[in-house]
Structure 1
Amino acid sequence: MMRHVVLFRRLPAVTENAALEAGLVEHMRTLEQQIDFARAWTVAANELDRPICWDYILDATFDDAEAVARCLPHPAHQALVADLKQYFEWVAVDYTC
């Protein structure tokens, strides 16, 4: 199994927009319905206000690295990336579990 973990935070130059942010997070959550080969898919908000914390996490599990590689160019994933990049920056870690 391979875990695909992505952390998101609002871009420093972007003014907070609660409605836009909520829509983007919902888009992250619903991507699971289109990436039907994901074994698990969780999107959650950070709950503690600390300087080192990012705002959201997407934690997905796939069968293997090939499945992660199939997810990244998937049209639904690419559409999400296009929407997210206007508001968030992100970092990712992929590891075998």
Structure 2
Amino acid sequence: MIRHLVLFKLNDGVAKDDPRALAGAKAFDELGGVIPELREWECGWNTTERDIAYDYAINSKVEDREALAAYIGHPAHQAAAGQWREFATWVIADIEV
């Protein structure tokens, strides 16, 4: 199994209530029920307000590297991630569990 973690940082001047951020969060909220390779899917806004904190996170699990590649290449994932490119940056980690 692979745990896929993504942390998003909103760009300067972009707030959580920005329509783009709200639409991006909605797009990710819907992915869990759309992409069959996802074994687990959690996402949401960070609840802490610290300088080093990221703003939004995805915590998911897939079976293997092939499933991860299928998830990343899935059109729904590509569309959701494409929205975030307009207003945020992110870091990822894929760990075997």
* TM-score higher than 0.5: yes
Aligned residues: 96
CA positional deviation for 1:16 = 2.8
Counterpart in 2 of 1:57?
57
Structure 1: unaligned runs, 5 residues or longer = none
Unaligned runs of 5+ in 2: none
Matches within 5 A, 1:1-97: 1-12=1-12, 14-16=13-15, 18=17, 19-97=19-97
Q: C-alpha distance in 2, partners of 1:93/1:5?
A: 5
TM-score normalised per structure 2: 0.89
Cα pair distance change 1:89/1:62, threshold 3 Å: same
Among the aligned pairs, what percent are the same residue? 29
Offset of 1:84 from its aligned partner?
A: 1.1
Amino acid at match of 1:16: A
Question: Partner letter of residue 15 of structure 2?
Answer: E
Q: 4+ residue runs of structure 1 moved beyond 2 angstroms?
A: 14-17
Counterpart AA for 2:21: E
Give the match's secondary structure for 1:25. Answer: helix
